[in-house]
Structure formats: C-alpha cells, structure tokens
Amino acid sequence: MALLGNGKPERDDLLLKRAIEEESSVYLTPKALKEIQNNTIHYFAVIREDIEGETYLLAIKDILFVNLNEEVLNYIYIIFSYVVEDLVFSRKLKEIYGKSEVPCSFSFVKELYKMSELHKKQGIESSIVFFTFEELPETYPYDLEKSIRKLDMLCILEERKLVVFLLPFTSILGAESFAQRIQKQFPALKLVRITKVKESNLNDYIKKAAYNAE
C-alpha cells in the first residue's frame, strides 16, 4: 500500500481505516468535522485507487470547505488515477514491448495505456485519429507538432505512410472536428480512421487503420 498526501498519517487515523476496510474513497463533510472531537482524525478526504494488486491512497489534509464536495473530489480522483498510472506503467511497458515491436515513442505508448485505463475505470473518452499520405512534405512533422495541444501526442509512421494523433480526454465528436481542421491545414494528409481509445495495444489500432488506408 502506498500513501500520497500532504501530511503524515497516524496509525489509528479513522479515515484511513475506513478507506482500507470499505475499499472505497471516503471524506468528511463540514458538518461532520464540527461534530468530531477525536484528534486522531487528521484528514478531510482519503481517495483510494487499486491498480495491479496494489492500493494507493491520496490523503488530503487541508481543503477549503467550499471545495469539499463530491464533484471536486471526483475531479481530484481522476487526476490522482492519472498520476498513479504513471507510477505503475513501467511494469506494463516491459510486457508491451516484449510481445511485439512498438513503432511509436515511449511517451505515446504510455499515454495510450493511461487513457485506456481511465476509459475502463471511469468511462473517460479519448480518441485516436489516423491520416495517410503519399509523400510527406518536409515541414509537416514540425508544423503538425505546432498545430496540436501540449496534451496531444503525434506519431509519424513513415513505412506505413500513416500519421497518428492521440487525443486524450477527447470524444469522437471532438476528434472529428480536430480531423477536419487538420485536413484543411495539411492537404497532403487524408483521413482514414477515427476511433475511441478502449485498449492499450497500439499495433491493433495501426493494423485497422492500415487496412482502411488500402
């Protein structure tokens, strides 16, 4: 079990115990905090995440009461899950690279894995967009990098004549708008496939896009 947070927990901290025993995230409302006099309770919220057989707890000791609500805590949970995925990814990466050659960068594969996990656990949508090309103008790799958000990922597969965009936290509708903009801005590219991120195997996505491009 790993504990992340802004304070050192007491061994008998009640919120930590509840998070472990109930296998869920827990928090105290402002009303409950006023009623509790037990000094062993130090945390307003403990957010729990289970990945690969390990339990990670985010202990929040100090938060404004106005932010102590389910909506804000759900948002924190999403960010927390995103961070925890980074911590456990190194184990998965060895397995992914061991099965077959992966044509894109470590960063691209890592982001794809994280987005697939967020989709499975939280239903958060991300998308992958594929373009094909006959000849890629010399300036396109640089210009394409400059045309996307810092959050987005780009992978150019010269041998397969594919340009791949990973769009985290982007629905199919948003990906379609993105694809229209890219096609107008870069006429040498032809759209071949837009798909949701569901699994983490990049080669499966590439094979389907290559088939569509034929």
Whole-model pTM above 0.95? no
What sign has the CA pseudo-torsion 140, 143, 146, 148?
Answer: negative
Q: Which residue would you say has higher pLDDT here, 207 or 4? A: 207
Q: Is the pLDDT of residue 198 over 80?
A: yes
pLDDT of residue 154: 96
Query: Per-residue confidence at 41, pLDDT binned at 50, 70, 90?
Result: very low
Q: Which pLDDT belongs to residue 98?
A: 60
| 67-115 pLDDT, tens digit each | 667 777 777 777 777 777 777 776 666 666 666 677 888 889 888 988 9
Residue 42: per-residue pLDDT: 45
The mean pLDDT value for 5-9 works out to 50
Banded model confidence at residue 56, pLDDT cuts 50, 70, 90: confident
The pLDDT assigned to 53 comes to 67
Cα angle 54, 55, 59; round to 5? 150
Q: What distance in Å separates the CA atoms of residue 83 and residue 39, rounded to the nearest whole number?
A: 30
Angle at the Cα of 208 (from 206 to 212), degrees rounded to 5? 115
pLDDT at 205: 92
Tokens linked to 9: 């927990």
